[in-house]
Amino acid sequence: MKRFNTIFALLSVLLFACTDGGGSGAGGGSTPPSISGLSFDPEVAYLEEGDGTTLITGQISFYDEGGDLSDVVVSIPSQGEIHIPVIGISGIKTGLLIGQFTISNLEIGNFPFDVWVTDSQGSISNKLSGSVSVVVDDRAIYWHLRTSGTSATLRSVSWSGDRFVAVGGDSTSTIVESGDGKLWAPINSTPGNKLNGVVWGGGKFIAVGDEGTIVSSLDGLNWSLESSSTTENLMDIAWSGTAYIAVGGNSTVLSSPDGENWTKYSAGIPGFNIAGMALCSNRLYAVGYSDYSPFATVVLDSADGKTWLSTTIPNSYYSLFDIACSNSTLVAAGAGGVIFTSSNGVDWQQGGIAETSNVYAAVWSGRFLTVGMAGGAVSTDGLTWDWITPSTIGTGEILRGVTWSGKRYVAVGESGTIVTSP
């Protein structure tokens, strides 16, 4: 019934808002009426934009020799026909039916319909077809500040398909969860040191943190402390499809098939702290920064998370904090809002400035979104960026992590900050 009601509201409001286009008649003509120019703007509505409705402006041109239009008929596939009485235009032969109306955008899909008119003699006009598409909104235009239930710093967030989990902490671990990204609740008992990264994969949430802390959960609500075999700070974690790969200080890499039994490896660069990682086309890519300064900008890559190759970006000395990828482009982001892009993970170019200060997290949703010290930025290609100011996002707090659920961005940061779009 949701689709039926959406289209009914669309046509009924539009057709009752009538303006005279000129001409008059007494009714009873033998020529069937005709309609043309069914148009409405926008033809695409975004899922859950604003309050869940989108304002549409539309019009239909009509000609009726007899000036006796009686009904508009709307036919919706699988829903049948709806007859809507035409009022207030008796004797008018030609004109425009103009109006503004709202449609619900709480359901993704394409909503087609046919429309025609009849007169008082039962004559039927030609038919016109149209449709309104409701699509996911990944533009990062509309943001909402949420209540997290904690004042601790949140550094990473992940989506399982039915639950968001955000992790962080100041001296000990903090975990908060949400089913929709809007309402959040803290997990009262969480083990371990402060947490820096979280991922969903292989049927589990796995989070990693300081001094080798690793915790796991099947549901995001009940967490267990795992043994990691390292005391290095762990900064990020990814699921490769067959194994969990955790990375951190001093080139530390851990691999586990189940999140419980971990084997330690090294990326081979002493003093290099791996801060962010992503799985791109079945290959892992990682970025970070060095304890030694200056240090060349390095991107790591691996087929299995065990053996790593390194690529040095020439004449570059930036710390990088995260990496994300589309099907064709990798984006690495870091200090000073710097962005590097690559199509193959080997040849890199500086793509521009995403923000005005450090970028700490990046995600791909159909476009790239970065967040950091000064709001965020979006790009379709990684080269040209539109800055999202803190006032647009709704907070001046530093944002440390971001994820995309397929319908919603969730970004987390200092002082327990959580913001979502839309």
**How confident is the model over 75-106, as pLDDT tens digits?**
877 667 878 787 778 888 998 776 666 777 88
Q: What is the pLDDT of residue 98?
A: 66
Assess whether pLDDT exceeds 90 at residue 115. Answer: no
Fold of 144-421: Methylamine Dehydrogenase; Chain H (2.130.10)
- pLDDT at site 189: 77
What is the distance between the alpha carbons of residues 338 and 318, in angstroms, rounded to a whole number? 8
Residues of the chain with CATH 2.60.40.2550: 2-135
Band (3; pLDDT cuts 50, 70, 90):
very low
Which regions of 86-210 does DSSP assign to beta strands (E)? 94-104, 109-119, 128-135, 144-146, 154-159, 164-168, 174-178, 185-186, 195-201, 204-209
Backbone dihedral region of 22: left (phi > 0), alpha (psi from -120 to 50 degrees) or beta? left
DSSP letters spanning 297-326: -EEEEESSSSS-EEEEPTT----EEEEEE-
List, by residue range, all CATH 2.130.10.10 domains of the chain: 144-421
**Given this model, what pLDDT does residue 59 score?**
80
Q: When comparing pLDDT for 108 and 418, which is higher?
A: 418
Q: What is the pLDDT of residue 4?
A: 41
**φ/ψ (deg, to 5) at 393:** -70, -30
Question: Residue 280's CB: how many other CB atoms inside 10 A?
Answer: 20
171 vs 196, more confident: 196
pLDDT tens per residue across span 332-354: 999 999 999 999 999 999 987 77
The pLDDT of residue 90 is 82
* pLDDT of residue 49 exceeding 50: yes
Please give the average per-residue pLDDT across 169-196, as a whole number: 93
Q: Which residues contact 123 (CB under 8 A, 6 or more apart)?
A: 30, 31, 32, 33
Give the fold, CATH level 3, of 2-135: Immunoglobulin-like (2.60.40)
CA distance to 224, 275, 339, per residue, from 221 (Å): 10, 26, 36
Phi, psi of 58 (to 5 degrees): -145, 170
Beta strands, E only, 303-398: 309-312, 320-325, 330-334, 338-342, 348-353, 359-364, 368-372, 375-379, 386-388
H or E stretch including 80?
strand 80-85
What does the pLDDT average to over 209-222? 97
- Residue 251's nearest CA partner among 224, 222, 230, 228 is 230
Which pLDDT band, with edges at 50, 70 and 90, does 372 fall under?
very high
Element (H or E) spanning 247, and its range?
strand 244-248
Over residues 378-419, the pLDDT tens digits come to 999 999 999 999 999 999 999 999 999 999 999 999 999 999
What's the rounded Cα separation, in Å, for the pair 413 and 399? Answer: 4
Phi-psi region of 232 (alpha: psi -120 to 50; beta: other; left: phi over 0): beta
Total-model pTM: 0.87
Q: Measure the CA–CA gap between 406 and 80, rounded to whole angstroms.
A: 32
